[in-house]
Structures are given as C-alpha cells and as structure tokens.
Amino acid sequence: MASFLSVHGYAPGPTQRPFLAGAISGVIATAPAIAILRALGSLRVEALVLHLSIWATLGVGWVAMAIAGAIYARVFGRAANNVHGGWIFGMGFGFALWAAGAAMVLPLISGGQAPAGAAAIGVVLSMLAWGTTLGVLVPFVHRPLHERIETASRSSSVGPNAATQKGENLPKGRM
C-alpha cells in the first residue's frame, strides 16, 4: 500500500516542473503518432477537413500535443511519473483526447466533416500511440527537469526559508 501512495494522489512539489516535462514529452510523442497518420492516409484527410496544408496541420498538431502533454502531466501529477503504470494513464488520456477532439470538436469546427474509414482508424490509433508514448516518456523527461536541492533550498517557497517566512506571519506569542 505504501508504494501505491507514493505515486498516486500527491501533487508535484514546488521543485518539480510538470508542465514543461509534459510539453516536451507531448512533442516527442507526436513523432510515432504522425507516422501512423501518414501510413493510413489520415494526415492528408485531416488537412482536407481542416482546410489547411499538411505542414500547417502538422504545426497545429505539434502545438496542440505540447499543450495536451502539459495538461496530462499536471492532471495526473505524480501518477504521470510512474515508470511502471504511466503508459496506461497516457493511453487513457490519448483515448479521451481522441473522443473529445476527433469525435466531437473536429466535426464542430469543420462544419460536420470528420475522417472516415481507414483515416478514422488512423486517427484513433495515432492518439492511442501518442498517449502511450507520452505516458512512457514523462517519467524519464521529468527527472532531469527537477530543480536541484542546492538551488531549491535558496528559494523562499521550499525548505528552511519557507518555514521561517510562514513563522513570520503568525501572531506574536504563537510560535
């Protein structure tokens, strides 16, 4: 039970950078998703549906996946850092993005058009691959981004400095 509690349910600390780790992982995880989109012809269909060039579609997709990766890392918190189970959180997040984005938002912004047939299968497979890759990458990308204890101890938001500042805000005689 203790190992379960160590990875689930606790918000990342002030020395961690979940948004940056998620954004970087989201961008990297886009590569296998694009390979699937290209292989099944989904990228061309998405560009047609969005009335954009393939390069513009790729650019918008990279930015959207960076933002989605940052959201993933923040929403799942320390659970996103689980080396053994992060992939399943990522895959679930990728599925949720597919359901919200490709199945609901895309038809709304394109006047009811959406990929069908093999292109639709490519979209769902690409989102599952993106999410799985994201979940696998976040723990490894996140570790080097943690602030070092030497620099964090000088920060006023953690360590002894935070404790002394909090003590200053107490009424006299209550320390």
Separation between Cα atoms, residue 136 and residue 90, nearest integer Å: 8
Nearest alpha-carbon partner for 72 in 56, 91, 55 = 91
pLDDT digits (tens, 9 = 90+) for 42-84: 889 888 888 889 999 999 999 999 999 999 988 887 777 778 8
Q: Which residues of 157-166 are buried (b: 16+ CB within 10 A; e: fewer)?
A: ebeeeeeeee
Tell me the one-letter amino acid at 159: G
Nearest alpha-carbon partner for 156 in 39, 22, 15, 19 = 15
Q: Six-digit token pair at 66?
A: 């960076």
The total domain count for the chain is 1
Q: Is residue 7 part of a domain?
A: no
> What's the domain range around 21?
16-144
- Highest mean pLDDT among 49-63, 69-83, 140-154, 160-174 belongs to 49-63
Q: Is residue 165 part of a domain?
A: no
Q: Is residue 82 part of a domain?
A: yes
pLDDT digits (tens, 9 = 90+) for 8-48: 445 555 446 778 888 899 999 999 999 999 999 888 988 88
Q: Is residue 95 part of a domain?
A: yes
DSSP codes, 43-57:
HHHHHHHHT--HHHH
